[in-house]
Amino acid sequence: MASVSTPQPLATALRQIEAAASPVSGHPTDYPPGWHIASHAHSKHQLIYAVQGVMVVQAEAGRWVVPPTRAIWMTAGMRHEIKCIGEVHMRSLLVAPEAAPKLLDSTQAVAIPPLLRELIRAAMDVPQPYVPGSRDGRLMRLILDELWALPVLPLHLQMPADPRLLRICTLLQKRLNDPSTLADWAQRLAVDVKTVQRLFVKQTGMTFGQWRTQARLLRALELLATGEKVIDVALTLGYDSPSAFATMFRKQFGQTPSQFFAAL
């Protein structure tokens, strides 16, 4: 069984996981509900994954909500912080930049298929450093091979850099049930609506409506993970009915809310 660490001062944890000389290393840590991991960065790439619990990952590249069937590929040097929704059993991998697949060249959400999930669990028991040609070495080599096949998932919310858009997005996240249009927001903040429309697409890759839908769905993941009922989540986020919310959820994630969390 892997020796699971408990939360400790960040500087100590970083020194331990960065010290591994092998291309891949595992780091298991269990966190209590509501635990916050302060902003930090690694010299290696990190696959941020939890076998239990939901994480909210905030980075310079954006914000993600991460359930146990998903993970975040965090590129080396990218500052990030993590909020634990419920009890979180994190099983992270640190991957040397020279060993990582070139396809994973940006911070992004990825799916964790069953084989990789079990490989990650096994990696927690591999001592560092390991011998490349040994059983442990072959296991870690297989993990690297599996990383090539990871599909990117739509769990990302890109925050704009423009201060006018950032103010709109910040206010909107505090009241996601607000039905106001982009024109309404522009009028409140004395911003030209056409300028805002253009900048939204340029800086977030989404229209205002798409961005708000994404923000609502990611917030829904947080609420559902804590046991909130679908009907309550739908009304909290401004949907007319649970069915309208379920339709948008399925369009984004390919499953209804109940199916999505039943798979966890």
| pLDDT 10s digits, 93-102 | 999 999 888 7
Domain 158-262's class? mainly alpha
Alpha-carbon 53 to chain mean position: 12
Residues of the chain above pLDDT 90, percent: 38
Going by C-alpha positions, the residue among 87, 20, 21, 88 that lies closest to residue 48 is 88
Which residue has better confidence, 25 or 13?
A: 25
Answer yes or no: is pLDDT of 38 > 70.
Answer: yes
pLDDT computed for residue 80 by the predictor? 95
Mean pLDDT of the residues in the chain? 86
Regarding beta strands 62-66 and 24-31, do their DSSP bridges make them parallel or antiparallel, or are they unpaired?
Answer: unpaired
CA distance 65 to 109: 9
Highest mean pLDDT among 12-16, 215-219, 252-256: 215-219
| pLDDT 10s digits, 177-191 | 888 898 998 888 888
Q: Bridge partners of 36?
A: 83
pTM of the entire predicted model:
0.69
Answer yes or no: is pLDDT of 262 > 70.
Answer: no
Which residue has better confidence, 224 or 127?
A: 127
Q: Which CATH architecture has domain 10-147?
A: Sandwich (2.60)
- Count CB neighbours of 154 within 10 A: 13
Residues 6 or more apart whose CB falls under 8 angstroms from that of 8 comprise none
Residue ranges, comma separated, of all CATH 1.10.10.60 domains in the chain are: 158-262
Answer yes or no: is pLDDT of 4 > 60.
Answer: yes
Going by C-alpha positions, the residue among 197, 195, 234 that lies closest to residue 217 is 234
